[in-house]
Structure 1
Amino acid sequence: MRWSALSLFGFISLFAATPSVHAAGEDYGVLIISRERLEVATSCEIGVYIHDQLSARLFQEQSTSFNLPPGTVSLRLKLLPGQAPGCNPGMLAPGSQNVTLKAGDVLKFRIAMTQEGMYLKPAALDY
């Protein structure tokens, strides 16, 4: 009898602690960057720079995610030098994109390409 009462008390206290855990975890936003589609016609590795620091490397059909504090995030995409021919980066620094994250946001972007270079295109989460 004592064990069942103690177990019940422990189970109820677990539910009481759950809302505080969720509230403490919402002080960041999630940014997902995907190269899952073949919109960029190169086998070269693509570097994802956050605030001008290399944060991820993506090959074809890969994606990455970041937990970031709320605010404006500067993102830049750049071809990285590699073993495949033609993967040397150009002389010009690629332009950056700014994304605004709010606490609790989950934003997904996929890498796309135009004549001017690579950019991040908003994508559906598809859960």
Structure 2
Amino acid sequence: MRWSAFSLFGLLSFFACLPQANATGEDYAVLIISRERLEVPTSCEIGVYIQDQLAGRLLQEQTTSFNLPYGKVSIRLKLEPSQMPGCKPGMLAPPAQEITLKAGSVVKYRIASNDQRGLYLRPAALEY
């Protein structure tokens, strides 16, 4: 009986020392990027670079999401090389776009394109 009580207190003190997991997810934000609409007139894959690291690729009619730490995040969109005709990477790095995420928020952007800016993210409604 004496060992079981010491074991129980030892086990409880071990769990008290562990860092507490934040179940509400307030340390992170969710970033949703979609290519649902036909705003980008190409069938090439689009690479999503977060902090200059390839984080995902999107084809037409696809959506992806990322759990990111809150704060400023650098997003870069780039046409990726593939087997489709005309899908060759460019020589210049496309400009990055800064997005500020708030803790616990869910934000959605969709990929758009124009002649001056190239590929960029446009805020979109969550619609759910």
TM-score, structure 2 normalization: 0.80
Question: Does residue 1:123 correspond to 2:124, yes or no?
Answer: yes
Q: Give % identity.
A: 70
- Name the residue aligned to 2:25: 25
TM-superposed deviation, 1:24: 4.2
More helix by share: 1
Cα distance in 1 for residues equivalent to 2:92 and 2:66: 27
Where do 1:8-19 residues align within 5 Å? Answer: none
- Name the residue aligned to 2:6: none
Cα distance in 1 for residues equivalent to 2:24 and 2:36: 32
- Name the residue aligned to 2:103: 103
TM-score, structure 1 normalization: 0.81
Question: Does residue 1:71 correspond to 2:49, yes or no?
Answer: no
Cα distance in 1 for residues equivalent to 2:91 and 2:47: 16
Question: 4+ runs of 1 displaced by more than 4 Å?
Answer: 20-24
Name the aligned partner's letter for residue 90 of structure 1: G
How big is each residue's C-alpha offset from its partner over 1:11-70, in whole Å with a ceiling of 9 and x where there is no partner?
xxxxxxxxx987542210000000000000100000000000000000000010000011
Aligned length: 108
Cα distance in 2 for residues equivalent to 1:95 and 1:21: 36
TM-superposed deviation, 1:90: 1.1
- Name the residue aligned to 1:61: 61
TM-superposed deviation, 1:103: 0.6
> Secondary structure, in 3 states, of the residue corresponding to 2:126?
coil
